[in-house]
Structure 1
Amino acid sequence: MLESVRPWDEQERAHLAEAAAWIVGGAPLYRVRKPDVPAIHLVSYFVVLDEKHGEILLVAHRKAGLWLPSGGHVEPMEDPWDTVVRECREELRIEAVPSAVFGVEPFFLTITQTRGQGRHTDVSLWYVLQADAGTITSFDEDEFEAIKWLSLPQVLAEPEDTLDPHMHRFTRKLMAAWGRPLTRRT
Protein backbone atom coordinates (compact mmCIF):
# COMPACT_ATOMS: atom_id res chain seq x y z
CA MET A 1 0.00 0.00 0.00
CA LEU A 2 2.87 2.39 0.76
CA GLU A 3 4.18 1.85 -2.76
CA SER A 4 1.09 3.57 -4.17
CA VAL A 5 2.09 6.84 -2.45
CA ARG A 6 4.36 8.90 -4.67
CA PRO A 7 6.42 11.14 -2.41
CA TRP A 8 5.83 14.85 -2.88
CA ASP A 9 8.98 16.09 -1.14
CA GLU A 10 11.94 14.91 0.91
CA GLN A 11 9.89 14.91 4.11
CA GLU A 12 7.29 12.55 2.63
CA ARG A 13 10.07 10.39 1.16
CA ALA A 14 11.62 10.15 4.66
CA HIS A 15 8.23 9.40 6.24
CA LEU A 16 7.60 6.64 3.69
CA ALA A 17 10.99 5.07 4.42
CA GLU A 18 10.40 5.32 8.18
CA ALA A 19 6.91 3.79 7.85
CA ALA A 20 8.23 0.92 5.71
CA ALA A 21 10.97 0.18 8.25
CA TRP A 22 8.38 0.30 11.07
CA ILE A 23 6.16 -2.23 9.25
CA VAL A 24 9.03 -4.54 8.21
CA GLY A 25 10.36 -4.41 11.77
CA GLY A 26 7.25 -6.25 12.97
CA ALA A 27 6.01 -3.56 15.32
CA PRO A 28 2.30 -3.63 16.17
CA LEU A 29 0.44 -1.42 13.68
CA TYR A 30 -2.89 -0.92 15.42
CA ARG A 31 -3.88 0.98 18.52
CA VAL A 32 -5.16 -1.48 21.11
CA ARG A 33 -5.75 0.92 24.01
CA LYS A 34 -6.65 4.60 23.89
CA PRO A 35 -4.93 6.92 23.53
CA ASP A 36 -1.37 5.70 23.17
CA VAL A 37 -0.82 1.93 23.17
CA PRO A 38 1.25 1.17 21.25
CA ALA A 39 3.06 4.50 21.10
CA ILE A 40 3.12 4.39 17.27
CA HIS A 41 0.03 3.32 15.35
CA LEU A 42 -1.78 3.57 12.03
CA VAL A 43 -4.37 6.25 11.16
CA SER A 44 -6.50 6.86 8.06
CA TYR A 45 -7.23 10.49 7.23
CA PHE A 46 -9.66 11.40 4.49
CA VAL A 47 -9.79 14.75 2.80
CA VAL A 48 -13.23 15.44 1.35
CA LEU A 49 -12.88 17.37 -1.91
CA ASP A 50 -15.71 19.18 -3.66
CA GLU A 51 -14.22 18.66 -7.12
CA LYS A 52 -16.63 21.07 -8.80
CA HIS A 53 -15.71 24.00 -6.58
CA GLY A 54 -12.14 23.05 -5.66
CA GLU A 55 -12.78 23.10 -1.93
CA ILE A 56 -11.84 20.74 0.86
CA LEU A 57 -13.54 20.10 4.16
CA LEU A 58 -11.67 20.67 7.40
CA VAL A 59 -12.93 19.90 10.90
CA ALA A 60 -12.13 21.69 14.16
CA HIS A 61 -10.95 18.72 16.20
CA ARG A 62 -11.74 19.22 19.90
CA LYS A 63 -8.83 17.20 21.35
CA ALA A 64 -6.17 18.34 18.90
CA GLY A 65 -7.26 21.98 18.94
CA LEU A 66 -6.50 22.17 15.21
CA TRP A 67 -8.30 22.21 11.87
CA LEU A 68 -7.75 18.77 10.32
CA PRO A 69 -9.13 16.40 7.75
CA SER A 70 -11.52 13.79 9.17
CA GLY A 71 -10.20 10.36 10.00
CA GLY A 72 -9.50 7.84 12.68
CA HIS A 73 -7.38 5.06 14.03
CA VAL A 74 -7.23 1.83 12.07
CA GLU A 75 -8.73 -0.97 14.16
CA PRO A 76 -6.84 -4.28 14.59
CA MET A 77 -6.88 -6.22 11.31
CA GLU A 78 -8.94 -3.51 9.60
CA ASP A 79 -7.93 -2.41 6.11
CA PRO A 80 -7.12 1.34 6.14
CA TRP A 81 -9.70 1.98 3.38
CA ASP A 82 -12.34 0.28 5.56
CA THR A 83 -11.38 2.73 8.31
CA VAL A 84 -12.13 5.58 5.89
CA VAL A 85 -15.55 4.09 5.11
CA ARG A 86 -16.38 3.57 8.81
CA GLU A 87 -15.12 6.94 10.00
CA CYS A 88 -16.82 8.81 7.15
CA ARG A 89 -20.19 7.42 8.28
CA GLU A 90 -19.46 8.07 11.96
CA GLU A 91 -17.98 11.55 11.67
CA LEU A 92 -19.70 13.13 8.67
CA ARG A 93 -22.81 10.95 8.24
CA ILE A 94 -22.07 10.29 4.55
CA GLU A 95 -20.84 7.37 2.47
CA ALA A 96 -17.16 7.41 1.47
CA VAL A 97 -16.90 8.02 -2.27
CA PRO A 98 -13.34 7.84 -3.55
CA SER A 99 -12.18 10.72 -5.69
CA ALA A 100 -12.45 10.02 -9.40
CA VAL A 101 -8.92 11.39 -9.75
CA PHE A 102 -7.22 9.58 -6.85
CA GLY A 103 -9.25 6.40 -6.23
CA VAL A 104 -9.09 4.20 -3.13
CA GLU A 105 -5.32 4.24 -2.67
CA PRO A 106 -3.68 6.57 -0.15
CA PHE A 107 -2.41 9.78 -1.73
CA PHE A 108 -0.15 11.11 1.04
CA LEU A 109 1.63 9.73 4.11
CA THR A 110 2.75 11.52 7.27
CA ILE A 111 4.25 10.63 10.62
CA THR A 112 3.20 13.03 13.35
CA GLN A 113 3.69 13.34 17.10
CA THR A 114 0.30 14.22 18.60
CA ARG A 115 -0.28 17.03 21.08
CA GLY A 116 -1.73 17.07 24.58
CA GLN A 117 -2.39 14.21 26.98
CA GLY A 118 -1.61 10.70 25.82
CA ARG A 119 0.96 11.85 23.26
CA HIS A 120 1.76 9.26 20.64
CA THR A 121 2.85 9.01 17.03
CA ASP A 122 0.36 8.64 14.19
CA VAL A 123 1.45 7.05 10.93
CA SER A 124 -1.29 8.56 8.75
CA LEU A 125 -2.44 7.48 5.32
CA TRP A 126 -4.29 10.35 3.62
CA TYR A 127 -7.10 9.49 1.19
CA VAL A 128 -9.05 11.85 -1.06
CA LEU A 129 -12.84 11.52 -1.21
CA GLN A 130 -15.34 13.39 -3.31
CA ALA A 131 -18.55 15.04 -2.14
CA ASP A 132 -20.52 18.14 -2.92
CA ALA A 133 -20.25 20.65 -0.10
CA GLY A 134 -24.04 20.77 0.26
CA THR A 135 -24.30 17.05 1.06
CA ILE A 136 -22.55 17.33 4.42
CA THR A 137 -25.13 18.78 6.74
CA SER A 138 -24.15 17.25 10.09
CA PHE A 139 -21.06 15.96 11.84
CA ASP A 140 -19.93 14.30 15.07
CA GLU A 141 -20.26 17.21 17.50
CA ASP A 142 -18.59 15.22 20.29
CA GLU A 143 -15.39 15.10 18.25
CA PHE A 144 -15.58 18.34 16.25
CA GLU A 145 -16.48 21.89 17.22
CA ALA A 146 -17.19 22.95 13.64
CA ILE A 147 -16.54 22.19 9.99
CA LYS A 148 -15.63 24.48 7.11
CA TRP A 149 -15.01 24.31 3.38
CA LEU A 150 -11.97 26.12 2.05
CA SER A 151 -10.56 26.54 -1.41
CA LEU A 152 -7.04 25.17 -1.73
CA PRO A 153 -5.53 28.68 -1.89
CA GLN A 154 -7.50 29.53 1.27
CA VAL A 155 -6.01 26.51 3.04
CA LEU A 156 -2.54 27.77 2.14
CA ALA A 157 -3.47 31.21 3.51
CA GLU A 158 -4.39 29.73 6.91
CA PRO A 159 -1.70 30.04 9.61
CA GLU A 160 0.20 26.76 9.77
CA ASP A 161 -0.15 26.53 13.56
CA THR A 162 -3.96 26.32 13.28
CA LEU A 163 -3.87 23.27 10.96
CA ASP A 164 -2.52 19.75 10.93
CA PRO A 165 1.25 20.30 10.66
CA HIS A 166 1.28 18.68 7.19
CA MET A 167 -1.83 20.37 5.78
CA HIS A 168 0.03 22.93 3.67
CA ARG A 169 2.27 20.23 2.17
CA PHE A 170 -0.75 18.03 1.43
CA THR A 171 -2.55 20.96 -0.21
CA ARG A 172 0.40 21.77 -2.46
CA LYS A 173 0.67 18.12 -3.50
CA LEU A 174 -3.06 17.98 -4.20
CA MET A 175 -2.94 21.15 -6.29
CA ALA A 176 -0.04 19.81 -8.37
CA ALA A 177 -1.59 16.36 -8.85
CA TRP A 178 -5.10 17.56 -9.55
CA GLY A 179 -3.97 19.96 -12.25
CA ARG A 180 -7.26 21.89 -12.47
CA PRO A 181 -7.97 25.53 -11.90
CA LEU A 182 -9.19 26.00 -8.36
CA THR A 183 -11.99 28.50 -8.03
CA ARG A 184 -14.14 29.49 -5.11
CA ARG A 185 -17.89 29.11 -5.22
CA THR A 186 -19.72 32.26 -6.19
Structure 2
Amino acid sequence: MTKKEIRDNILKKRLDLDQEKYEKYSQKIVEKLRNQIKKWDFDSIALYYPINKEVDVLPLIEELLKTQKKVYLPKVLGKQMKMGRVKSLDRLIKGKFNIPEPIEEEFSSKIDLYIIPAIAYDFKGYRLGYGGGYYDRYFLQNPKTHLIGVIFNFQLISSFPTHSNDLKVDFIITEKSEIEILNV
Protein backbone atom coordinates (compact mmCIF):
# COMPACT_ATOMS: atom_id res chain seq x y z
CA MET A 1 0.00 0.00 0.00
CA THR A 2 1.12 3.56 -0.68
CA LYS A 3 1.37 6.15 2.08
CA LYS A 4 -1.76 7.84 0.68
CA GLU A 5 -3.74 4.58 0.79
CA ILE A 6 -2.60 3.89 4.36
CA ARG A 7 -3.39 7.47 5.35
CA ASP A 8 -6.90 7.35 3.81
CA ASN A 9 -7.69 3.93 5.30
CA ILE A 10 -6.56 4.71 8.85
CA LEU A 11 -8.03 8.22 8.89
CA LYS A 12 -11.41 6.78 7.86
CA LYS A 13 -11.19 4.20 10.69
CA ARG A 14 -10.33 6.94 13.17
CA LEU A 15 -13.14 9.22 12.05
CA ASP A 16 -15.58 6.28 12.21
CA LEU A 17 -14.50 5.43 15.77
CA ASP A 18 -17.52 5.30 18.06
CA GLN A 19 -17.59 8.39 20.36
CA GLU A 20 -17.75 6.30 23.53
CA LYS A 21 -14.70 4.25 22.48
CA TYR A 22 -12.91 7.42 21.37
CA GLU A 23 -13.33 8.96 24.83
CA LYS A 24 -12.49 5.71 26.67
CA TYR A 25 -9.36 5.03 24.58
CA SER A 26 -8.22 8.66 24.85
CA GLN A 27 -8.57 8.53 28.65
CA LYS A 28 -6.51 5.32 28.82
CA ILE A 29 -3.79 6.82 26.63
CA VAL A 30 -3.69 10.07 28.61
CA GLU A 31 -3.38 8.10 31.87
CA LYS A 32 -0.43 6.13 30.45
CA LEU A 33 1.05 9.37 29.13
CA ARG A 34 0.71 10.99 32.57
CA ASN A 35 2.58 8.07 34.14
CA GLN A 36 5.24 8.12 31.44
CA ILE A 37 5.98 11.85 31.61
CA LYS A 38 6.32 11.68 35.40
CA LYS A 39 9.47 9.65 34.73
CA TRP A 40 11.07 12.49 32.76
CA ASP A 41 12.71 15.53 34.26
CA PHE A 42 11.28 18.29 32.10
CA ASP A 43 10.46 21.97 32.30
CA SER A 44 8.85 22.34 28.88
CA ILE A 45 6.51 20.13 26.89
CA ALA A 46 4.98 20.45 23.43
CA LEU A 47 1.64 18.81 22.70
CA TYR A 48 -1.00 19.36 20.02
CA TYR A 49 -4.62 20.44 19.71
CA PRO A 50 -6.54 17.29 18.69
CA ILE A 51 -8.44 17.30 15.38
CA ASN A 52 -10.16 14.56 13.37
CA LYS A 53 -10.42 12.31 16.44
CA GLU A 54 -6.73 12.39 17.29
CA VAL A 55 -6.11 11.21 20.86
CA ASP A 56 -7.75 13.83 23.10
CA VAL A 57 -4.89 15.29 25.14
CA LEU A 58 -6.81 18.45 26.17
CA PRO A 59 -7.32 17.23 29.78
CA LEU A 60 -3.56 16.70 30.08
CA ILE A 61 -2.86 20.16 28.63
CA GLU A 62 -5.24 21.69 31.19
CA GLU A 63 -3.44 19.86 34.02
CA LEU A 64 0.00 20.90 32.79
CA LEU A 65 -1.08 24.54 32.50
CA LYS A 66 -1.77 24.51 36.25
CA THR A 67 1.82 23.48 36.98
CA GLN A 68 5.14 25.27 36.60
CA LYS A 69 5.76 23.51 33.26
CA LYS A 70 5.95 25.52 30.05
CA VAL A 71 3.38 24.21 27.56
CA TYR A 72 3.69 24.64 23.78
CA LEU A 73 1.44 23.92 20.82
CA PRO A 74 2.27 23.96 17.10
CA LYS A 75 1.74 27.17 15.14
CA VAL A 76 1.97 27.04 11.34
CA LEU A 77 3.67 29.98 9.65
CA GLY A 78 3.76 29.47 5.89
CA LYS A 79 5.48 26.12 5.24
CA GLN A 80 7.11 26.10 8.69
CA MET A 81 5.84 25.07 12.08
CA LYS A 82 6.97 26.65 15.33
CA MET A 83 6.12 25.78 18.91
CA GLY A 84 4.22 28.61 20.58
CA ARG A 85 3.82 28.97 24.31
CA VAL A 86 0.33 28.46 25.69
CA LYS A 87 -0.77 29.89 29.01
CA SER A 88 -4.49 29.10 28.62
CA LEU A 89 -6.59 27.13 26.16
CA ASP A 90 -8.83 30.22 26.04
CA ARG A 91 -5.96 32.11 24.38
CA LEU A 92 -5.95 30.18 21.09
CA ILE A 93 -7.02 31.25 17.60
CA LYS A 94 -7.84 29.18 14.52
CA GLY A 95 -4.74 28.84 12.36
CA LYS A 96 -3.90 27.88 8.79
CA PHE A 97 -5.67 24.49 8.87
CA ASN A 98 -8.47 25.70 11.14
CA ILE A 99 -6.60 24.20 14.10
CA PRO A 100 -6.48 26.29 17.30
CA GLU A 101 -3.00 27.78 17.77
CA PRO A 102 -1.36 30.04 20.37
CA ILE A 103 -2.14 33.75 19.94
CA GLU A 104 1.16 34.86 21.48
CA GLU A 105 4.34 34.91 19.44
CA GLU A 106 6.45 33.41 22.24
CA PHE A 107 8.29 30.58 20.48
CA SER A 108 10.90 28.11 21.65
CA SER A 109 12.91 25.36 20.03
CA LYS A 110 14.42 24.29 23.36
CA ILE A 111 11.66 21.93 24.45
CA ASP A 112 12.35 18.95 26.71
CA LEU A 113 9.51 16.64 25.70
CA TYR A 114 7.20 16.34 22.68
CA ILE A 115 3.87 14.52 22.47
CA ILE A 116 3.21 13.94 18.77
CA PRO A 117 0.03 12.75 17.01
CA ALA A 118 -0.01 10.80 13.76
CA ILE A 119 -2.16 9.02 11.25
CA ALA A 120 0.02 5.96 11.97
CA TYR A 121 3.27 4.83 13.54
CA ASP A 122 5.16 1.70 12.64
CA PHE A 123 6.99 -0.58 15.08
CA LYS A 124 10.30 1.17 14.32
CA GLY A 125 8.83 4.49 15.53
CA TYR A 126 8.40 6.14 12.14
CA ARG A 127 5.53 8.60 11.88
CA LEU A 128 3.01 8.88 9.08
CA GLY A 129 1.27 12.25 9.28
CA TYR A 130 -1.16 14.10 7.05
CA GLY A 131 1.52 14.53 4.38
CA GLY A 132 2.46 18.19 4.82
CA GLY A 133 5.88 17.42 6.33
CA TYR A 134 5.57 20.05 9.08
CA TYR A 135 6.91 17.87 11.91
CA ASP A 136 9.63 16.44 9.64
CA ARG A 137 10.84 19.95 8.70
CA TYR A 138 10.54 21.18 12.29
CA PHE A 139 12.87 18.46 13.58
CA LEU A 140 15.36 18.98 10.76
CA GLN A 141 15.87 22.50 12.19
CA ASN A 142 15.30 21.91 15.92
CA PRO A 143 16.80 19.52 18.46
CA LYS A 144 15.06 16.17 18.94
CA THR A 145 14.73 15.61 22.66
CA HIS A 146 12.25 13.03 23.98
CA LEU A 147 9.55 12.28 21.39
CA ILE A 148 6.43 10.33 22.38
CA GLY A 149 3.90 9.31 19.74
CA VAL A 150 0.27 8.85 20.77
CA ILE A 151 -2.23 6.92 18.64
CA PHE A 152 -5.00 4.38 18.94
CA ASN A 153 -3.89 0.77 18.66
CA PHE A 154 -5.41 0.29 15.18
CA GLN A 155 -3.10 3.09 13.95
CA LEU A 156 -0.02 1.02 14.78
CA ILE A 157 1.09 -0.79 11.63
CA SER A 158 3.96 -3.12 10.81
CA SER A 159 5.61 -0.86 8.24
CA PHE A 160 5.20 1.70 5.48
CA PRO A 161 7.58 3.35 3.00
CA THR A 162 9.95 5.75 4.79
CA HIS A 163 12.52 8.36 3.79
CA SER A 164 15.64 9.54 5.61
CA ASN A 165 13.87 12.80 6.65
CA ASP A 166 10.85 11.03 8.16
CA LEU A 167 10.29 11.67 11.85
CA LYS A 168 10.97 8.81 14.25
CA VAL A 169 9.77 8.87 17.87
CA ASP A 170 11.37 7.29 20.95
CA PHE A 171 8.20 5.90 22.45
CA ILE A 172 4.65 5.06 21.28
CA ILE A 173 1.62 4.91 23.55
CA THR A 174 -1.72 3.37 22.56
CA GLU A 175 -4.67 2.35 24.71
CA LYS A 176 -3.29 -1.22 24.67
CA SER A 177 0.48 -0.82 24.72
CA GLU A 178 3.56 1.23 25.46
CA ILE A 179 6.42 0.65 23.05
CA GLU A 180 9.94 1.88 23.61
CA ILE A 181 11.74 2.23 20.29
CA LEU A 182 15.24 0.85 20.39
CA ASN A 183 17.71 2.42 17.98
CA VAL A 184 19.22 -0.65 16.38
TM over 0.5: no
Structure number with greater CO (CA < 8 Å, separation at least 6) is: 1
> TM-score normalized by structure 2?
0.29
> TM-score normalized by structure 1?
0.29
